[in-house]
Chains A and B, each alone.
Chain A
Amino acid sequence: MIGKLVNFFGDKKYTAIRWRLLILSLIAIIIADFLVDRHEGHNFWDAIPGWGAVFGFISCVLIIFVSKFIGKKGGIMKQEDYYDRKHK
C-alpha cells in the first residue's frame, strides 16, 4: 500500500491527476478559509480571508529569488573545491 501511494507521487503517468488534485485542494482551502469562524484570531491578518494563501505564495517566491540573488550576487556560492585551492 505504501509502495502504491509513494508511486502515485513519483510516476509520470499520474501527473495530470496530481495537478487536478492539487488545484482541487487549493480551491477547497480557499473556500474553507472564507467560511471559517474568524472571531477566534488575535492578529489583524486573522480577519482577512485568503490571507494564508497569498502570504504563503508570496513568501515562497520571495525566499527563492532573494536567496538565489544573495547566493549568486553576494558571492556566497562557490565552486566545491573552494577551500582546497591554495591561497595565492
Chain B
Amino acid sequence: MTESISEWSHPALLLILGGLILPLFKGIAQKAYSLLLPILIIFIMSQMKVGNFGEIDFAGISLVMFKVDKLSIVFGWVFAIMALIGNLYSLHINQTGEKVASSLYMGSAFMVLFAGDWFTLLVGWEIMAFASAYLIFAAREAPAIKAGFRYLMVHVTGGVLLLGGIVLHGLETGSYLFGPIEEAYQGGLAYNLILISFLLNAAVPPLNAWLTDAYPEATVTGAVFLSAFTTKTAVYVLIRTYPGAEILIVLGVFMALYGVVFAVLENDCRRLLGYHIVSQVGYMVAAVGIGTEMALNGSASHAFAHILYKGLLFMGAGAVIYMTGKRKLTELGGLYRTMPWTVALYMIGAFAISAFPFFSGFVSKSMVVAAAAGDHHAIAALLLMVASSGTFLHTGLKLPYYMFFGKDSGLRPKEPPINMLLAMGIAAFFCIGIGVFPTPLYNLLPYAVDFEPYTGVHITESLGILMFTLLAFVLLLKHLDPENTISLDTDWFYRRGAAIFMWLANNPVLRWEQQIITLADGFALNSLHRLSKYSLSIDIHLVDGAVNGVAKTAIKSGSLLRRLQTGVVSHYALAIVIGLFLIIAVYVLITKGMT
C-alpha cells in the first residue's frame, strides 16, 4: 500500500463519510453496507503502516491528521473488530439515524486515535460527544432525553476545558503536535485543563456520573457502542499524554474500588455494568500512572480485552432488555430456561472480565497488577486484587444470578435475533481466543512483552481468589438481593444540586438583594438629606435621582443578568437541540424521500 493511498484510507474518513451516505441505501442493501464498512476498516488495519500521513500547514500551524504508530494500531484493531461486532448486533434495527450516529461516533473515535495534532483530536473529541449523545436520545423516552441532555452538558463542558487547555498549551510551547506534555509545562494550567477533560471522558470519579447516568438509558444497540469507545479513547490519550503521572495511580485504584462498591447497590442491569466500566478503566488509568513499559502494555492490552468482553456483557444484558422490555434485576430471573445461548455467551464475557485463566482478562489484567507490584506499588496491586474479587462477584455472579437464574419471574422470552447471537459469538470467540493464545495480542503491543501470565502460582492464586469469592457469594446470597432503589452519585450535584441552587437564587438571595438595595437606598438618601443643608435643592434632586436611578438600574440589570445567565445556558442547550433536530430532520427527509 503506497502512502498516497494511506492518506485516503483513514478509517475516520471512511466511517464518517460512509456513515453520512448510509441513508442512501435501503433495506437489505443498507444492512449489507453497514457490515461492509467495518470489514473494509479491518482490511485497512491489516495494511496499516507506521508513519505520518495527511500533514497540512494551516495558518502557520502544522497539523497531522493521520499519524500511525504501534499504540494507535493496537487500539485501531480493537475498534475495527468492535465496529463489526456492533454493526452486526444492530443489523436487525431499521433506525437509519441511529446507524448514522454510531458510524459517526466510531469514525470520530478513529479520528482521535490517529490524530497527530491537538486540533484534529479536538474535532474528533467533539463529534464523538454529539454522535454518542444521539444514541441516548434515540431511546426516545423521557428519562433518556433528560439523561442525554445531562450527558451532553457534561461533555460539552469537558470539550471547552480541552479547548482551553489546547490553546494555552499551544501558546506556551508554540506547537500543536499531539504528544506527551513536556516536563517544563507539567503542573501548569494547560496541563491540568487537558488532564481534567481526559479524566472526565475516562469517567474518573467524581467525574464519572455521566456514564452510569446515561448508558443505561441508551438504546439496546447504542449502549454496546457507547461501552466501547468513549472511555477507551480517553485511556488512549492518557497513555499518550500523561504516562507516569503519579496521581493517576491513586485515581485509578480509587475508581476500580468505587465502581465495585456502587455495583453492590445497583438494581439496573446496564447501570451495574456501567459501574464495572468505571472499575475496569481504573486498572488502565492506574497503569498509565505507573508508566513503565510493562504498565503501558498492560493498559493497552487491558483496553483491548475490555472492549470485547464489556461489549459482550452489554450485548447480553441488551438481549434480555430487547426480549423482555425489563431492565431491573428485581423484575428479572429464571430466564435460563428459554435463553440458554444468551446465558452461555454472557458468561464467557463474565469469565473474561473476571480474569479466569484461559479467558482474555487473565492475560491483560494480570499484566497491570504485575506492573504495579513490580514497580513497588504493592498496596495498589493488592487493592486492585480486591477489585478483581468484586468484579467476579457482580458481573460473574450477582448479575447473571438475578437476571438468568434466581427466583422465577415467570418471563419466558425467546432467544434474541440470530444476528445478535452471532455478534455475541464473535466477541466470545475473542474473549477465549485472547486468553488461550495471548501471543498475537502481545506482539501487537507498543513495547516488547516480557511477561508470562500462565505460571503455576498465578493460576492457582487467581483460581483461589475467584472460587472463594464464589463461596462467599453463595453463603451471603441473601445480603445481595437487589433492592428497588437508585444510588446517588456525583450527578446529584447537577440534578438535585442545580434545583437547590436555582431555588436559593430565586428566593433568599433575591430577598437579601432587595433588602440590601433598600438599605443602601435609604442610607444614601439620608446622607444626601444631610448634604442638602449645604447644597441647592436641585442638586439634591439630581444626586438623589442619580442614586435612585443607579439602584433601579442595579435591580433591573441584576434580574436581567439572572435571566441572561440562565438564558445563555438554555440557548446553548437550544442550539444543541436545534442542531440535533436538523440532523434528524435531514435524515428523515432523505429517508422518506427515498421510499
Contact = CB atoms under 8 A, between A and B. Distances in A.
Q: Do A and B come from one complex?
A: yes
A76 B487 contact: yes
Given A57-B472, A61-B472, A82 B486 contact: yes
B370 A42 contact: yes
A29 interface: yes
A55 B467 contact: no
A43 B261 contact: no
A74 to B, nearest CB: 9
Contacts, number: 168
Residue with the greatest number of chain B CB neighbours at <10 A, chosen from A50, A51, A59, A70? A59
Contacts of B500: 87
Interface string B339-379: 01101100000000000000000000000001001100010
A25 B467 contact: yes
B456 interface: yes
Nearest to B500: A87
Contacts of A52: 460-465, 468
Q: Which of A42, A67, A83 has the most CB of B within 10 A?
A: A67
Give the interface residue-count category, chain A.
35 or more
Contacts of B337: 7, 10
B381 interface: yes
A29 B405 CA distance: 26
Nearest to B466: A56
B386 interface: yes
Nearest to A50: B464
A63 interface: yes
Contact of B484 (A33, A55, A80, A83): A80
Interface in A45-65: 45-46, 50-57, 59-65
A77 interface: yes
Given A43-B378, A43-B381, A52-B468, A60 B389 contact: yes
Contact of A63 (B264, B370, B457, B496): B264
B464 A29 contact: yes
A6 B336 contact: yes
Given A6-B344, A33-B460, A60-B393, A77 B455 contact: no
Given A64-B476, A68-B265, 5 more contacts: A40-B457, A40-B458, A56-B467, A63-B260, A71-B487
Interface of A: 2-3, 5-7, 9-10, 22, 25-26, 29-30, 32-33, 36-38, 40-46, 50-57, 59-68, 70-71, 75-80, 82-83, 87
